[in-house]
Amino acid sequence: MFSTFEKYKRIKNQNSCSKLVEEALRLNSEKADQNPQK
């Protein structure tokens, strides 16, 4: 039971981290769209 709960917490942490990364990437791409300097 305890190990299952630890796995669940770890999976939840990974999911929230990936969501934060996706959000950051999305914001970065939006900024790049607004001022294209390449």
Convert the pLDDT of each residue in 1-38 to its tens digit: 578 888 888 888 888 888 988 999 999 888 877 766 65
Q: What is the pLDDT of residue 23?
A: 92
Q: How far apart are CA 6 and CA 36, in angstroms?
A: 44
Q: What is the pTM of this model?
A: 0.51
Assign residue 13 a region: left if phi > 0, alpha if psi is -120 to 50, beta otherwise?
Answer: alpha
pLDDT of residue 9: 87
pLDDT value at residue 13: 84
Owning domain of residue 15: 4-34
Q: Domain tally for the chain?
A: 1
